[in-house]
Structure 1
Amino acid sequence: MTIPVESLCSSLRQTYPESIWKPGCLVIGQASNTPTWHTALLSDSLPSEPTMVITEQAEQRFLNAPEVLADFVFRSIHTNVLVGKELTHKFFGVPHTKSYYLGCSTGGRQGLKSVQDFPEDFDGIVAGAAAADHNHLQAWSASFFLITGPPDAPSFLTIDQWINVIHPDVLRQCDEIDGVKDGIIEVPDLCEYDPSGLVCREEGGQQEQNASCITAEQAKMVKEVYKPLFIFGKFAYPRFQFGAEGAMSPLLFGGQVSTIAADWFRFVTFSDPNFNVSTLNQSSWALIQKQDNFSISTWKANISTFKNRNGKLLTYHGQTDQLISPINSERYYSRVQKHMDLTLEEQDTFYRLFRISGMNHCAGGPGAWEVGQTLDGAADDVRLGSLSLGPEKNVLTAMVRWVEEGVAPDTILGTKFVNDDPRQGVQFSRRHCRFPLKTTYDGIGDPTEPESWSCQ
């Protein structure tokens, strides 16, 4: 359904009298000649007529702009919820009954923010690959430059080497731990990877020249990549995941500081567009955590208010996420359990985590990663009958059933399409278990069939 802009603005003005809110109706458009309506915002400074907003560069948005930063951290979602509920009531004449949230990455963090700080906003929240513990995540992302060095450093490996040399070696050592050789490490926690076997041999004082081997210095660097981040000797953020190097991103391993982390340090932490991010160090990591602008860390462990109002939280994380360590989602799950002194059974009543093997950051990858988390190509998928809206295969409808019928999901059935194209049919399916249970092969059946796997 599309609500006409003028009807929307009229409803806003009726709902929020100018004597109190001085509302303006803002139409947020895309980068096209024809603005399209997405949402409406209220502000003393907004114009009274529809206006198109042009996206600015990162430094223009965040540099010395605490109000914009507040919008990014929490206020944009919360304001949209409040206005959206009022609009629903005004337009349909009846109030909403339930509200749901679905987001991934920063969207996942914003979902957790709603759980922690605005527990009345949503009845059910699906948060994927959440960028929680945000400050340590930025430090971790930036720290890889200190480990790999620039492209001309002796220790540096190209993205091609990570994908075509390191990744096959990781699979050689760890792929069959789960009993199936399929290019998917079902439980990366069990992997103990050692790159020393890739070191080029020396003959007659000369090192072998071979594209399939690496130097001893590069092997040492690889080991460091797979270690957690410590700040002044204290654990700060978990390691890069084994198997994720198959989708290695130049964002983290391109021989420069991650542009996302670099922008945050320049425009938020130091408020200096000219700050030299190559000088970042452990003192920088400590400073960003100390600042914690508007509690962007999103790391509060007490979510009892959300629990007590019968809210439901479903989180998922791809186990080959190349941008955010999936171990961090396990950390937060365990952090909540410990702080609230819950048994696993008690936590299961309102909060469940699903580890999606072979899923990259939010989507894609070698595994059965399609779990209803993305609407990309959804129209074609529904038309072809390959995108299921059933709660067994879809995290959002699973959440709706949990909230409205009290049926909590024990597994999520993921789908891998041939060449990730639904038009080419299903390659295989796999049921992903709720944490801390492990998806386990029975050793007998066809590994492409979900019935051959169980939760143990």
Structure 2
Amino acid sequence: MRTVRIFTAVVTLTLATAGFTPVAATAAPDSTVRPTTACGDLVRGFALPGAATHVTSAAVVAATATDPEYCGVRGYVEPAVRFDLRLPTKTYAGRYLQYGCGGFCGIVNPPAFADCDLPHGGDVAVAATDDGHVGTTPAVVDDGSWGQHDQAARDDFEFRAPHVVSRASKAIIRAFYGAPPKKSYFTGCSDGGREGLLLAQRYPADFDGIVAGAPAGYWGPLLGVYQTWLARVNTAADGSPVLTAAKLPALHAAVLAACDRLDGLTDGQLDDPRACHFDPAKLTCTGPDTPACLTPAQVGVVRKLYAPPTDAHGTLLYPGGQQPGSELSWAGWIIGVPETGGVSFARSLADNYLKYLGYPIGAPASKVDDFAFTKREFDRLTPVGVRYDAMSLDLSAFQRRGGKLVLWHGWADEAIPPAGTLDYYQRLTRGHAQDFARLFMVPSLYHCGGGTTLTEFDPLKELVAWVERGTTPTKVTATGRDAAGNVTRTRPVFTYPQRAVYDGSGSVDDAANFRPAPPASPVRDVVDWAGNGLYAIPGPVAR
């Protein structure tokens, strides 16, 4: 189910209730740090200014084949920011990792112990939050009704929750181990990527290193305009989809046939889909309407999906559109399928945003079927949208502290066009790689994971090495797996704008057989669009 793939399945963990005997805080020979207090003694309040914290449960969970023994802590920051914090009892080495949310959040996804390529895998304390509310619809993460009349809940989701959870977690870590974490990291994708950028921009002292994947930083335009555009473009007058999922395999195959070779290698993926200028009219049905061709109306839909939304005067209302090569991922997000109840995820997100979250409480709202693609309606979304946005180009405070930022995005992302991340990165770095920020663009990768040839990408190890050892990341390996979990391809992803070029020998599915090369043409990623003024608008800050 696409919503599960995008925003992480909901899983349930039963916390063990084993006891724990406190020991003195010492640095073991392997540099681990031992707790100074019992796990159960963490069940209390923490009087943090502006972030009063309550631990409601704390119990030791036995080690498994994949996880270390840990103290599982659950609680909330007032008024209602729930969190799950996991503190290794025997293998902690002073690092804290916080995960971001997806969609409209509304659920605490159990935080996983990350492999940071360090001596022991369970040495990182990990935490996650629901961003201050509980989603109630079946999909949970597309529910926005909680924010219709609750400004406090909006504040938490817009900007406050990731910051106050970082403060709460560090206070609890200090209480448990006798000292705060030596290094703190944040990683997230989609809304979690927005949170990562937001933290670097507004709360530069919270984290030493941040991974922001497929960041939804242009929040108001993305949810209010772009997702609405995706829904409306593919809706016929009777409410049915114009382009159906059955047409996507033929469309994708035609795109590959036309453009796969343009990057110098016929390997089933487009390394930079901007070089592809495929005309969907080539698939126009000349006989019966079959899955192998497109009707004239479907050709029109595909053309509109490849293009950014505009107003009647041609002004771009979002900095990008769908990329060639992403077609198979449109099922579920753009085209409703049985797994999503027949409603596209774009429509569900957009309708919830326009009805409940996109305008000041009490002000006239909107909905997908009524929204007008005009500069006036774009501007009407701005007063609230800037509270969510993570578009500031001033990361000077984060940089001065030695903070490191890794951005990444899939070229075949169906949910958030990669053009927005490219636009932001070039504005941020002025076209030159900086000593605190790097971008990686992953061929064929869908939104936050999945894809046709490459399905996984995680630069966390490289971020830790950059922060702690000064090793600037120049390459991260992306992995492709089949349905059974078998590795089918590895491919290096070099720091943008460098690209991976086959060295002429060995398997094209082996990352070892590729080298970096400069871009085929000069980088011109800044987009002139209706949101040009949003980069200079500072958002609110929680203390």
Taking structure 2 as the reference length, what is the TM-score of the superposition?
0.68
Superimposed CA distance per residue, residues 85-110 of structure 1 (whole angstroms, 9 cap, x where no aligned partner): 11111111122211001111111110
Aligned-pair CA distance for 1:154: 9.5
Partner of 2:189: 104
The one-letter code matched in structure 2 to 1:158 is T
Check 1:144–1:98 CA distance in 2 against 1; reply closer, same or farther (3 A cut).
Answer: same
Q: How does 1:302-313 map to 2 (within 5 A)?
A: 302-313=394-405
Alignment gaps of 5+ in structure 2:
1-14, 21-37, 59-70, 82-107, 109-132, 138-142, 337-342, 518-543
- From 357, 367, 370, give the equivalent of 1:279: 370
- State the distance in 2 between where 1:310 and 1:274 align: 42
Is the CA contact 1:198–1:214 (under 8 Å) kept in the aligned structure 2?
yes
The one-letter code matched in structure 1 to 2:358 is T
- State the distance in 2 between where 1:247 and 1:45 align: 35
Partner of 1:158: 244
Is the CA contact 1:356–1:369 (under 8 Å) kept in the aligned structure 2?
no
Partner of 2:463: 399
Partner of 2:78: 43
Check 1:59–1:319 CA distance in 2 against 1; reply closer, same or farther (3 A cut).
Answer: closer
1:234 paired to 2:319: no
Aligned-pair CA distance for 1:222: 1.3
- State the distance in 1 between where 2:162 and 2:80 align: 19
- State the distance in 1 between where 2:76 and 2:220 align: 28
Superimposed CA distance per residue, residues 104-131 of structure 1 (whole angstroms, 9 cap, x where no aligned partner): 1111110010011001000000111111
Check 1:27–1:165 CA distance in 2 against 1; reply closer, same or farther (3 A cut).
Answer: farther
Alignment gaps of 5+ in structure 1:
29-35, 47-51, 202-206, 374-394
Partner of 1:391: none
The one-letter code matched in structure 1 to 2:454 is A
Percent identical:
26
The one-letter code matched in structure 2 to 1:95 is P
- State the distance in 2 between where 1:22 and 1:329 align: 35
The one-letter code matched in structure 2 to 1:267 is Y
Partner of 1:344: 432
Check 1:219–1:443 CA distance in 2 against 1; reply closer, same or farther (3 A cut).
Answer: farther
Is the CA contact 2:210–2:405 (under 8 Å) kept in the aligned structure 1?
yes
Aligned-pair CA distance for 1:253: 3.0
Partner of 1:269: 358
Aligned-pair CA distance for 1:44: 6.8
The one-letter code matched in structure 2 to 1:7 is D
SS in structure 1 at match of 2:271: coil
- State the distance in 2 between where 1:192 and 1:296 align: 34
Superimposed CA distance per residue, residues 361-415 of structure 1 (whole angstroms, 9 cap, x where no aligned partner): 11111233323x3xxxxxxxxxxxxxxxxxxxxx112111100110011010122
Partner of 1:225: 305
Partner of 2:86: none
Is the CA contact 1:40–1:80 (under 8 Å) kept in the aligned structure 2?
no
SS in structure 1 at match of 2:179: coil
Superimposed CA distance per residue, residues 169-189 of structure 1 (whole angstroms, 9 cap, x where no aligned partner): 111111121233222111112
Partner of 1:95: 180
SS in structure 2 at match of 1:91: helix
Check 1:92–1:102 CA distance in 2 against 1; reply closer, same or farther (3 A cut).
Answer: same
- State the distance in 1 between where 2:239 and 2:52 align: 58
- State the distance in 2 between where 1:111 and 1:309 align: 16
Partner of 1:146: 232
Partner of 1:361: 447
Aligned-pair CA distance for 1:230: 2.5
- State the distance in 2 between where 1:89 and 1:107 align: 25
Aligned-pair CA distance for 1:293: 4.2
Is the CA contact 2:454–2:479 (under 8 Å) kept in the aligned structure 1?
yes
Q: How does 1:45-444 map to 2 (within 5 A)?
A: 55-57=135-137, 58-138=143-223, 139-150=225-236, 152=238, 156-161=242-247, 163-201=248-286, 207-231=287-311, 233-235=314-316, 236-254=318-336, 258-270=347-359, 276-283=367-374, 285-293=377-385, 295-338=387-430, 344-345=432-433, 347=434, 349-371=435-457, 373=458, 395-419=459-483, 421=485, 424=486, 426-444=487-505
Partner of 1:8: 42
- State the distance in 2 between where 1:23 and 1:153 align: 47
Aligned-pair CA distance for 1:45: 8.7
Aligned-pair CA distance for 1:59: 4.4
The one-letter code matched in structure 1 to 2:515 is S
Aligned-pair CA distance for 1:213: 1.4
SS in structure 2 at match of 1:279: coil
Question: Which structure is higher in helix share?
Answer: 1
- State the distance in 1 between where 2:366 and 2:467 align: 48
SS in structure 2 at match of 1:419: coil
Superimposed CA distance per residue, residues 390-445 of structure 1 (whole angstroms, 9 cap, x where no aligned partner): xxxxx112111100110011010122234350xx4x32211011111122233444
1:455 paired to 2:516: yes
SS in structure 2 at match of 1:313: strand
Number of residues of Structure 1 aligned to a counterpart in Structure 2: 404
Check 1:56–1:152 CA distance in 2 against 1; reply closer, same or farther (3 A cut).
Answer: closer
The one-letter code matched in structure 2 to 1:430 is R
Aligned-pair CA distance for 1:21: 7.7
Check 1:22–1:98 CA distance in 2 against 1; reply closer, same or farther (3 A cut).
Answer: closer
Check 1:418–1:209 CA distance in 2 against 1; reply closer, same or farther (3 A cut).
Answer: closer
The one-letter code matched in structure 1 to 2:76 is L
Superimposed CA distance per residue, residues 281-313 of structure 1 (whole angstroms, 9 cap, x where no aligned partner): 124741454223462121111111111111000
Check 1:39–1:120 CA distance in 2 against 1; reply closer, same or farther (3 A cut).
Answer: farther
